[in-house]
Amino acid sequence: MGKKVRNVETVTDFADNQHFIRLHRDIVLPPESCEAVRRHLAAGRWEEAKCIALEHAPADAHDEINLFFDSTAERLASENQLATTTPTQAHACEPTLH
């Protein structure tokens, strides 16, 4: 049967030159941000990928991004037996000043 695993992809649509992350839907990001998210995910730096996605995604996608990354972090911690009896404080995304 099906796995209970969520997936994320970073995609470049060369036909219309759009860059996005694909969760439950496609979330458009600027090309540089999409590539940065891809690099962080490939290196296992999920928190950094989440912060970049949140910084550059439309506001209506923030809940979906948070849900995906938070639930994935919990699943990975559980699978890797990284969960401890005393929870660690989550790393918060710091807003970037422009």
67 within a domain of the structure (yes/no)? yes
Residues 6+ apart with CB under 8 A from 54: 62, 65, 66, 93
Residue 96 identity (one-letter amino acid): T
> What is the pLDDT, as a whole number, of residue 85?
41
* Residue 42 counted as domain residue: yes
Is there a domain that residue 40 lies in? yes
* pLDDT tens column, 6-64: 577 777 777 777 787 888 788 999 999 999 999 998 898 989 999 999 999 999 999 99
Q: Which domain covers residue 36, as residue numbers?
A: 9-79
The pTM assigned to this predicted structure is: 0.70
Residue 89 located in a structural domain = no
pLDDT at 71: 87
**Sign of the CA dihedral running 27, 29, 33, 38:** positive
Task: Tell me: pLDDT of 1 over 80.
Answer: no
Number of H helices, E strands in the chain: 3, 3
